[in-house]
Amino acid sequence: MGEYALLYILFAPFAGALALIFVSNRQPLLVRSIAVSAAFVSLISSLYLFYAYDPVKGGFQFIQKFEWSRQLGISLYLGVDGIGTPLVLASSILLFAGIFVSWHIKDRTKEFYIWLLILAAATIGVFMSLDLFFLYFFYEMSVIPMYLLLGMWGSHTKKYLEMTDPESLKRRDSVGFILNFGSNSKEYAAMKLVLFLSAFAVVALMGILLIYKYAGLDTFDILVLREQANLMNIPVLGTTLDKIIWVLIFFGFASIAPLWPLHSWSPVGHAAAPAATSMLHAGVLMKLGHFSIIRVAFEILPETTRELMPIAAVLCMFSIMYGGFVAFYAKDTKYVIGYSSSSHMGYVFLGMAALNYISLSGAVIYMFAHAMATGMLFAMAGWVYDQTHSRDIPSLGGLSNKMPFISACFIVACMASIGMPGTVNFIAEIMIIVGSWNKYPVQVIVAMLGIVLTLAYLFKMMRGLFYGPMNQKYSHAHDAIATVDRLPLLIMIAISIGFGIFPMHLYDVVRSGVDPLVARITQVVPVAETGEGLGMRGKVTTPERPSVPLAAHKPTSDMPQVPRAGRE
């Protein structure tokens, strides 16, 4: 596999989608087999990538570059560092699990798997792009499958069908499908998602184009731009250009994160989406925002990031508490999990805002950990809905008698979401809290209250679904017995607990990507082997990160010895 691992991971889902075009829906087993094969190739390649990545060497590895336009400076430039590697793995895991979660879909199965594979491939493309043009290209590509998956295979939210078609007799024509924008319809959710993401993607695009124009380098290469772009001290509208670009990049990508108050599209999208789409939506699509901010704003505008990142530290408090309180009072299972995901993304922003080795490493690990936990929750919410055709928590209850396996897995998923010791979420939350305390104690207190709130609404939902008296109209419901139904949950549980007990390789990989980035932002960068140091602007004189063992960055106290001025 070797140096071509990134190509296998990225193009296996595309190849699977292309192969499915030539298969008939009358052959459902063949359709599912092709989808599973494509996802399996991507998963195996991602596992190889994760364990073959050398954290001692660090930097970007498994580089692949194909020139696309010499005049414009655009290349399909692929590579992963310690930040992108675990997120590529998370995308592949959720794609493979999502194929099995959707195993029983009978309506246009081929088309569903085509768009699911393209969605996963688009997210993977963002995580490994080292060219701004293709990073944005893959980012926008993810919007199209989301719209179709929600609009065609999604479900209306609570009471919509009862209000519009109590006997399920009406069939909508194509015009009705397009114009059916009732606030509880899946079409409304799909359109709201597209409008939000597309509008703010244009904002981010403006920032990218300003970088391209005023850097004067005629390239979209992120590694070249981070070393040579000089966007400071260019006066624009009473401020400097770097601040304008940073704000455009930050808020343009923060909408998909989703950061309060740009979040309202996300829970609606979660509620309407089919289970596998919700898994990818919450598990990796939302992380495109954090990752893109890190890759563009942190890498290319380090000094401006240090100056303006307190904006995120303020807004993340609203994300944590608002999402938590709405989740507590929500009665729809997917709304609870959807608002929970929005709340938990505030922890990632808190870790990013603190700008030190521990907090940012915790933020990256939390992105991976949250993907597993929320993937489990949405998969089981989808199973409960398939069995009962209801997401209304007060009308459910007592399902543990019918679904012992699902209820047991639900407990594990709740423990992971809360951050119970033994899960990788616990490690990430501790790192964020400890790393952020010195700089943002108020935000850390809010974050800890958010953990208590998470415990309250997840246990409330678990009790409402699985315990107490059972409504007899759900007596036909049954547990996940087949291997294809149990396998995705077991995979995500194994990953969550496995990395919770044995986290060191994940930690080393993430630190290898975080160390040089934080050092660059705080202007404490290791001296290159040539003996040349940094200029006043904190730029490394060599394009590659020097081969310094991680031990050099981690004293015996396991706390980075950064001068106080650098941490401020």
Length of the chain: 568
In 3D space, the residue among 542, 519, 513 whose CA is nearest the CA of residue 56 turns out to be: 513
Residues pairing with 240 in the sheet: 235
Helix (H), strand (E) at residue 505: helix 504-521
pLDDT of residue 184: 58
pLDDT of residue 264: 74
C-alpha distance across the termini of the chain, in Å = 43
User: What 3-state DSSP class applies to 562?
Assistant: coil
pLDDT of residue 495: 93
Its pTM stands at 0.83
Neighbour count for residue 362 (Cβ, 10 Å):
31
Distance CA 430, CA 416 (A): 13
In angstroms, the Cα distances linking 73 to 7, 202, 429, 518 are 21, 21, 40, 28
In angstroms, the Cα distances linking 176 to 181, 185, 197, 236 are 9, 12, 24, 47
Cβ proximity of 506 and 424 under 8 Å: yes
Distance CA 284, CA 278 (A): 10
Place of tokens 């530290």: 313
Kindly give, in sequence order, each residue whose CB lies less than 8 Å from that of residue 421, ignoring residues fewer than 6 positions away.
500
Let me know how many helices (H) and strands (E) the chain has, helices first: 25, 4
Distance CA 496, CA 377 (A): 13
User: What 3-state DSSP class applies to 488?
Assistant: helix
pLDDT of residue 49: 92
Please give the full DSSP string across 282-329, using - where no structure is assigned: IIIITHHHHHHIIIIIIHH-HHHHHHHTHHHHHHHHHHHHHHHHHHHH
Distance CA 524, CA 511 (A): 16
Distance CA 203, CA 284 (A): 21
In angstroms, the Cα distances linking 131 to 35, 73, 146, 226, 292 are 29, 9, 24, 12, 12
Neighbour count for residue 115 (Cβ, 10 Å):
21
Report CA Rg, the chain: 23
pLDDT of residue 277: 83
Cα angle vertex 28, ends 26, 33, to 5°?
Answer: 140
pLDDT of residue 257: 83
Please give the full DSSP string across 430-485, using - where no structure is assigned: HHHHHHHHTT-HHHHHHHHHHHHHHHHHHHHHHHHHHSSPPPGGGTT-----SHHH
Distance CA 510, CA 330 (A): 35
Place of tokens 């655009």: 74
| Per-domain residue ranges of the chain | 353-528
pLDDT of residue 366: 93
In 3D space, the residue among 416, 396, 551, 388 whose CA is nearest the CA of residue 462 turns out to be: 396
CB neighbour burial string for 284-301, b if at least 16 within 10 angstroms, e if fewer: bbbbbbbbbbbbbbbbbb
Cα angle vertex 496, ends 3, 272, to 5°?
Answer: 95
Please give the full DSSP string across 17-71, using - where no structure is assigned: HHHHHTS-TT-HHHHHHHHHHHHHHHHHHHHHHHHHS-TTT-S-EEEEEEEEETT
Please give the full DSSP string across 89-118, using - where no structure is assigned: HHHHHHHHHHHHHTTT--TTHHHHHHHHHH
pLDDT of residue 547: 39
Neighbour count for residue 548 (Cβ, 10 Å):
18
Residues pairing with 332 in the sheet: 392
CB neighbour burial string for 248-283, b if at least 16 within 10 angstroms, e if fewer: bbbbbbbbbbbbbebbebbbbbbbbbbbbbbbbbbb
Q: How many CA atoms lie within 13 A of 370 on its CB side?
A: 29
Residues of the chain with pLDDT under 70: 1, 154, 156-187, 231-238, 524-568
Angle between helices 132-141 and 186-215 (to 10 degrees): 170
Neighbour count for residue 392 (Cβ, 10 Å):
13
